Amino acid sequence: MQNNKKGIILQKLKESDAEWTNGQGPLSDIVISSRIRLARNIEGIPFPSRADQVELKNIFDLSQQVIEKSSLFKDYNLLLLDELTPLERQFLVEKHLISIYHALKKQVYRGCIFNQRETLSIMINEEDHFRIQYLLSGLQLNEIWKLINKIDDEIEKIVTYAFSGKEGYLTSCPTNVGTGMRASVMLHLPALAMVGGMNDILKAISKIGYVVRGFYGEGTEVMGNLFQVSNQITLGLSEEEIIDNLEKVNQQIISQEQKVRNDLLSNSKSQLEDQIWRAYGILSSARIISSVEAMELLSKLRFGVELGIISHPDLATLNKLMLLIQPAYLQMLAGKDLDPFTRDLQRAILIRNKISE
Amino acid sequence: MLCQICKKKEATIILTKVSEGQKTVIQLCQDCASMFNDKLSIFPIPEFNINDLLTGLLKAIDLYSKEEGVIPIKEVKCSNCHLTYDEFKQSGKLGCSVCYHDFREQLIPLLRRLHGNSEHVGKIPQRAKGKLNKIRKIKQLRKELQEVVSREEYEKAAKIRDEILKLEGALKKRNAK
């Protein structure tokens, strides 16, 4: 029964597209998505790294109560990660529903709650008891804060959070204490990357308390010119201030990117067009392609769409492709484990089909 | 030993800088040290790795405390989950919410360095709202009180004082419950 339910949830997840990939949000020609996550712990129970099995189970049961008791969480799915295969867990990572750390760490009663739109997910017993995250397309941090704040209040009706007047929301790692909030914006910055302007920007923003991460969060590589900019400071600033500052930092990066894009368009349009059409050529005819090469070329194609040089495929298709071509997603679609070479073959077919749709 | 900068507070941190064979030692209080460490770049701050940053800071803070011989950090233990401060230093993760209370002395300099601050000003859970909002309001009123007194606006000051007393009374009642 349990297995059956798990199967249905994963099947649906395989077929559905996350709402944040729709390419519709504000400034979506540069901003892929915005995300806020809140780290929360339950009073009186040690943090997951120090909790015993009974305590971890208590937390998991509490999360179940949360979604059962509140109408806000109607139609939400709850998965117990212990019951999933490594491939299925990796698939959740690629869907941006859980972190790599959550997928890999050896510990029982790890869970994941998420809604059908895949905008909200709650990791249970990750580094903290609850890690609530909300994702939307484009630059929408204020909107997300409103939504996630409501969810947070709703959960608090059922559980008592560990909180102190001085240090705020108490978290396993002191780098998250206070608001427990990490806000981030995923930017597509091909022009800045092309002219080598990224290093200066990265240096500058790290100096003022912001950090850049890769496509799959902390400790992951930047690929396809996708940069995730997020706040580091969580204590001593209000949530609104953190969001406001992050939005300002991002707006500056965005205007830099726009400036370089315009310069490139007016000075080297032919070279740009050539690169973009070549990328299109390879993607629409390659028979074997690795995920790294595909991400790079998809970035170029996306750049072409963003600049209006090429009109097809649309941003939504490109966003979705970035997820579909990842190793675990490909294997989930195939319904079996695939060796790397077969994945490169399958990936090429998938891209050709999507691009010619 | 008083802090060499402000000459007011007790110096608890010794900064040693070795540059071109020259060794400079400064004794500072925590507040002045947090202002100065950027300029002296005593602590190498890696740009993108938050974990290295954390362990580095922990080591640095530990080192200075040891030199001073103030806190025998190794023996500090959480009364609830029994995590030792040493274990925290290894993993960078605290064991439970009580750790924040029991390691507070050690954590404050760390939090200042990580966040530039050690006090929360953001969201308050519903259950704690009444009390904490009152505490925040009292803090803010005390500041205002100082300002109006310095401007010799005594009528205003009296009003603010009354408001503070009222809030403090309400808090006491709440605590008594």
Write out the residues of chain B at the interface with chain A, using a CB-CB cutoff of 8 A. Answer: 47-48, 50, 54, 80-81, 83, 91-97, 100-101, 107, 110-111, 114-128, 131-132, 135
Q: What is the pLDDT of residue A346?
A: 96
User: What pTM was estimated for this model as a whole?
Assistant: 0.80
Cα distances (angstroms) measured from residue B96 to each of A42, A47, A122, B76: 10, 5, 20, 15
Inspect the interface and report whether the beta carbons of B96 and A174 lie closer than 8 Å: no
What ranges do the domains of chain A cover?
Answer: 3-262, 268-356
pLDDT at position B52 is 55
* Closest approach of A165 to chain B, Cα-based (Å): 6
* pLDDT for the residue B153: 87
Q: Which residues contact B165 (CB under 8 A, 6 or more apart)?
A: none
What's chain A's Rg over C-alpha atoms? 21
Confidence (pLDDT) at B26: 67
To the nearest whole Å, the CA of A321 is away from the closest chain B CA by 28
Structure tokens at B110: 């760390």
Residue A259 CA: distances (Å) to CA of A189, A194, B29: 11, 13, 46
Mean pLDDT value of segment A37-57 = 96
Please state which architecture CATH assigns to domain B1-45.
2-Layer Sandwich (3.30)
pLDDT the model gives residue B132: 75
Q: Indicate the pLDDT class of residue B49, thresholds 50, 70 and 90.
A: very low
pLDDT at A191 over 90: yes
Nearest to A174 among B95, B111, B131 (CB): B111
Residue of B48, B97, B118 lying closest to A206 (CB–CB): B48
Contact A168 B115 (CB under 8 A): no
Of A103-107, A123-127, B69-73, the poorest mean pLDDT is in B69-73
Sequence ranges of the binding site of A for ATP:
33-37, 96, 131, 182-186, 213-218
Q: Is A230 on the interface with B (CB under 8 A)?
A: no
Quick one: average pLDDT of A158-171? 94
Q: Which pLDDT score is estimated for A200?
A: 82
Map tokens 């859980």 to a residue: A98
The top-level CATH class assigned to A3-262 is alpha beta
Paired with A40 in beta bridges are A130
Domain ranges of chain B: 1-45, 50-115, 126-176
Number of residue pairs across A and B with CB atoms under 8 Å? 126
Taking only the tens place, the pLDDT of each residue in A288-313 is: 999 999 999 999 999 999 999 999 89
Question: Is B47 close to A168, i.e. CB distance below 8 A?
Answer: no
Please tell me what DSSP assigns to residue B20.
Answer: T
Max mean pLDDT among A132-141, B44-53, B140-149 falls in A132-141
A228: Cβ–Cβ under 8 A, 6 or more apart, which residues? A184, A185, A186, A187, A212, A213, A214, A215, A217
